[in-house]
Amino acid sequence: MSSLKGLAEPLSDRDRSRLIDVAKASIRSGLDTDQPLSIAINDYPETLRQIRASFVTLNIHGRLRGCIGHLEAIQPLVKDVSQNAFAAAFQDPRFPALTNDEFPLTEIHLSLLTPAIPLVFSSESELLNLLSPGEDGLILEEGHHRGTFLPSVWDQLPDPKEFLRHLRIKAGLPVDYWSDTLRVLRYRTESFS
């Protein structure tokens, strides 16, 4: 089994709190100005300026209200969180834009991703044996089809076979689709609220 590279040291409680504050401020900025929070990168510690990928998930009363993120690291973490929080609140195509009335009820959950690594397998059963439920985030790719589930999705789909079936559906593929060209990549997350 391949090892996961790029596992960063977990953030301190202070850095986690700062990122949650940035996400909240970016949503507030969106409500007030229709723009994400503008980030002055040098105002943040080095740990938050590292180039890292993140997802921001919004819930209200335990129900999904928006989730947007990047699978690849493309910008400083603090900027990624700011932009993804804004996008989760106002640009997730599954939901209308978040309202002022909803904002105080919104729970913000952040997931910081490791770089994804491809899994090597030759059958579905081999792939299923490689999975670590509760720990793995997966990206499934086939041609122009692509879908991902964060590790938190294991809470709703704890069976690896069902997890994979639902991931295929999310990627726009038939539930039992199989091909020798199917690619699956694994990543891990540091998650907090």
User: What is the tens place of the pLDDT at every residue in 75-88?
Assistant: 999 999 999 999 99
> 18: helix, coil or strand?
helix
Residue 94: C-alpha distances to residues 29, 65, 73, 88, 156 (Å) = 21, 9, 24, 10, 19
Q: Taking the CB of residue 32, how many other CB atoms lie within 10 A of it?
A: 9
Tell me which architecture the domain covering 117-192 has in CATH: 2-Layer Sandwich (3.30)
What is the rounded average pLDDT of the residues 120-127?
96
What CATH number does domain 13-113 carry, 1.10.10.10, 3.40.50.970, 3.30.700.20, 3.40.50.300? 3.30.700.20
Residue 7 pLDDT greater than 80, yes or no: no
Amino acid letter, 59: N
Sheet holding 137-142, edge to edge: 117-118, 183-187, 137-142, 145-149
User: What residue ranges of the chain are covered by domains with CATH 3.30.700.20?
Assistant: 13-113
H runs (alpha helix) in the chain: 13-33, 46-49, 77-90, 124-130, 160-170
Asked if residues 119 and 185 have their Cβ atoms less than 8 Å apart, the reply is: yes
Please choose, from the candidates 5, 25, 176, 170, the residue with its C-alpha nearest in 3D space to the C-alpha of residue 86.
25
User: What residue ranges of the chain are covered by domains with CATH 3.30.1490.150?
Assistant: 117-192
**Which of the 8 DSSP states describes residue 60?**
E
pLDDT at res. 9: 83
Q: At what angle do helices 77-90 and 13-33 cross, to 10 degrees?
A: 40
For the question of whether the overall pTM of this predicted structure is more than 0.75, the answer is: yes
What is the rounded average pLDDT of the residues 138-156?
96
User: What is the tens place of the pLDDT at every residue in 26-50?
Assistant: 999 999 999 999 999 999 999 999 9
Sign of CA dihedral 162, 88, 28, 189: positive
Query: Confidence band (pLDDT; 50, 70, 90) for 57?
Result: very high
pLDDT above 90 as % of the chain: 95
Residue 5 pLDDT greater than 70, yes or no: no
End-to-end CA distance of the chain: 31
Residue 90 pLDDT greater than 90, yes or no: yes
User: What is the tens place of the pLDDT at every residue in 148-170?
Assistant: 999 999 999 999 999 999 999 99
pLDDT at res. 3: 41
Mean pLDDT of the chain: 95
